[in-house]
Structure 1
């Protein structure tokens, strides 16, 4: 994601730099492919930059921010990694008051071959405006969510929790079906419905009303996964979540009621 996003920034920036210290040959090849300018050290990069965009694996986000803070960076720092809002706040505290910190979250595929991801932002108005200008008229779409640091990270993780877990659930479902020779039939059944459940939040209340029955079904499915040598923990965790709604059987819950019960069993 990082290299093609950086290439989009080059549309409006005087230069887009990357630090080659400690990076792999594959990273160097990507940077060259997208026309980024190499610098030898992080200090070199920070001394020459008005804006820093951190787009790396989540586990490295805080260490990178700490390294940037130790150099006294005083520009705009965009923390665009898939991290939780609490970590985002910690990173902002590391970099302030020297830097203006913008919370960012990229939703979508890398901006290549016609793809147009959205970079969601939250943070100081002047700083978010700079980032909007940086990506104006590029394949990276922009949307600002307000001034509160943590909002963009929360949106990114909310979406990722559904999207990525759904992909894992597909693997488990197909794996179970294949074990019993009905994987093609499973695909046929699923092809009759293509809508995303995430677009139907009103169904949460109906899920709560059915939880007393669905939970045991998922436990049975978890047992089937275990028997097939597949990991059952995800379905057991889903069954445990449904158990928080066990007393909603037959009830007429609203979406708000259902979510309140889920958060405060």
Structure 2
């Protein structure tokens, strides 16, 4: 299968690596991309193309795996590039609300089969096999990719169901990360850090261990997760569930993204920095 990718970040390149190992050919637009992105593409065995028109012409399936704030404008650009083209399967696999997923699906003509996707898990590797929840008419076209480093999990014919799955799941996992950060930061601001850490270690050891390992990693991803938290909040509100918690989570992510560690990526982050040092830096931002 010829597979194109809009986005060659850690997840997009990871999927391409897995699909390539299963015998599929993967491509992405290389022009205008950073040196780090081009290095990821090369490591994943992705073939470079010049632009979206070339990606469309060389692909049977195109996955969009981007920072979620780029999902809609990039989908619009692809919709324009495919307007007079042949048949294509477009997998909208970004962390966006069901409402946005449905809006994106409506951009495309009849020659494009749009599949809603929600990725859960870390990028594919020797140790990781993420799940891709899919929904939309004809989503079974992706069956050849099942077990190709991923698991395909169908959720029916309605566009938006896979995105809703992503929103609810990430609302828990990333929302918990934001809550842990907020609690530790509040403790730091009130000069309770040592006492709070000791109490958490004694009475909530699992939560404390999660904070110790997770909080130092968050600045590398926080910038991409601000918009995602807001999408979760809007998703919850659309169903009558209060969204304020995840509005607050977006503020925490934004605080981390603007910190002295906000320039880090998953590849470049300081793996020796502790959660206490990370929280202290966030406190300095608050003043």
- Return the match for 2:115 from 99, 102, 111: 102
Post-superposition Cα deviations, 1:181-231, rounded to whole Å, max 9, x if no partner, equal 21122222112679xxxxxxxxxxxxxxxxxxxxxxxxxxxxxxxxx9699
* Alignment: residue pair count: 197
Q: Contact between 2:130 and 2:149, CA under 8 Å: does it hold in 1?
A: yes
Correspondence 1:1-265 to 2 at 5 A: 1-12=11-22, 14-72=24-82, 73=85, 74-125=87-138, 128-133=139-144, 135-178=145-188, 179-180=191-192, 181-182=194-195, 183-191=197-205
CA distance in 1, matches of 2:42, 2:54: 18
For the residue of structure 2 that corresponds to 1:10, the secondary structure is helix
> Any gaps of 5 or more consecutive residues in structure 2?
1-10, 209-281
Q: Name the larger-Rg structure.
A: 1
For the residue of structure 1 that corresponds to 2:107, the secondary structure is helix
For the residue of structure 2 that corresponds to 1:94, the secondary structure is coil
> Any gaps of 5 or more consecutive residues in structure 1?
195-227, 233-265
CA distance in 2, matches of 1:111, 1:54: 16
- Give me the TM-score of the superposition, normalised by structure 1: 0.69
CA change 1:229–1:28 in 2 (3 A) is closer
- Give me the TM-score of the superposition, normalised by structure 2: 0.64
Q: Contact between 1:177 and 1:186, CA under 8 Å: does it hold in 2?
A: no
Q: Contact between 1:51 and 1:77, CA under 8 Å: does it hold in 2?
A: yes
CA distance in 2, matches of 1:91, 1:52: 14
CA distance in 2, matches of 1:192, 1:156: 24
Q: Contact between 2:200 and 2:207, CA under 8 Å: does it hold in 1?
A: no
CA change 1:148–1:13 in 2 (3 A) is farther
